[in-house]
Structure 1
Amino acid sequence: MRTTLMAIGFSTLASIAMAGEMHHVAIHVDQNDPQVMNLALNNAQNVAAYYKSIGDEVTIEVVTYGPGLNMLIPGKSPVADRISVMSLELDNISFAACGNTHAKMSEKAGKDIPLMSEAKMVQSGVVRLIELQEDGYAYVRP
């Protein structure tokens, strides 16, 4: 039985080794600037394509806060269509919206500001970036 367990263990390790390395990238957007938003999305697409081409995997999280939250607001986002397409094409990308910024924007507007369906709310964009870096994510700020 022990030999069987060792064989299963070695088989699993061999499968993991053959799958390539796993990478993690956090991309920071805090500006309401279409060029910055497009650059962030270009970075994400290029990183995903590169790692795919060498047989590695990558997880990408785009974290927005402050004026950058407009990236994830329908009707305000100059990159909404790109985000929708990328979310369908890349299963390894996610978009985080700062809850602190969202609350302030909603309060100022006097109503709840909707977010794109691709966005997930986090309590704080800055804290999310800290957590991702503590978890080994590379940090990119376009």
Structure 2
Amino acid sequence: MTHFIRLAAIIGLAIAFFATPNPSFAEGYGKQKVVYHINYLGGENSKAYRGAMRNIQNHINAVGVENMDIKVVLHGNGISMLQSAMADDGLQTVIGGLKSQNVKFHVCNNTLTGRNINYSDDLYDVWEDDIVPSGVAELSKLQQEGYTYIKP
């Protein structure tokens, strides 16, 4: 069953990745800078996280990867998405697919410190450059820089 779920995730990612935006739609959207805010638990089978990642992929598909600058800020319970991905091949595939489209994941150092989480051992595909001092301060900074705030 696990192989079936992984295969389904890979096929779904391939369809999303190769989906070409309708040029008439994409032209109307123009270039966009967006920050997605995740600070909640994913629920059973990381359903909320998968839904948020699907929203991001749909956004890219509609506007075109070349027109998007997307950041995902994770803090508080949102860090659980990257913890869950350590053992979830499907979630790994989705996160990796978004990263391959230049989506940047920013991880809150306050949460890591407060919860005694080691990013290199406990979180999926997180690097030192992904760590920001404060998730909420990062959200404010990005909005001041013109990023549109979205909480899926």
TM-score, normalisation: structure 2: 0.66
Q: Name the one with the larger strand percent.
A: 1
Contact 2:38-2:72 within 8 A present in 1 as well:
yes
Q: Distance in 1 between matches of 2:32 and 2:119?
A: 33
Name structure 2 gaps, 5 residues minimum. 1-26
Q: Which residue of 2 aligns with 1:117?
A: 125
* Residues 113 and 59 (structure 1), Cα distance of their counterparts in 2 relative to 1, 3 Å cut: closer
Identity %: 26
Q: Spell out, residue by residue over 1:24-49, the C-alpha distance to the aligned partner (whole angstroms, 9 max, x if none).
A: 01101111212221121111111111
- Which protein shows a greater Rg? 1
1:111-135 per-residue CA deviation (whole Å, 9 max, x = no partner) reads x343332551000111111111111
Q: Could you tell me which of 27, 31, 48 is aligned with 1:22? A: 31
**Which amino acid is the alignment partner of residue 96 of structure 1?**
H
How many residues align structurally? 116
Change (3 A) 1:118 1:85: farther
Partner secondary structure for residue 136 of structure 1: coil
- Match in the other structure for 1:57: 67
Larger % of helix: which? 2
Runs of 4 or more above 4 Å deviation: none
- Segments of structure 1 that go 5 or more residues without pairing to the other structure are 1-17
Alpha-carbon distance in structure 2 between the residues aligned to 1:76 and 1:102: 19
Q: Is the 8 A contact 1:27 1:63 kept in 2?
A: yes
Contact 2:35–2:148 under 8 Å retained in 1 = yes
Mapped pair 1:37 → 2:49: yes
Q: Distance in 1 between matches of 2:114 and 2:87?
A: 16
Q: Is the 8 A contact 2:86 2:124 kept in 1?
A: no
TM-score normalised over the length of structure 1: 0.71
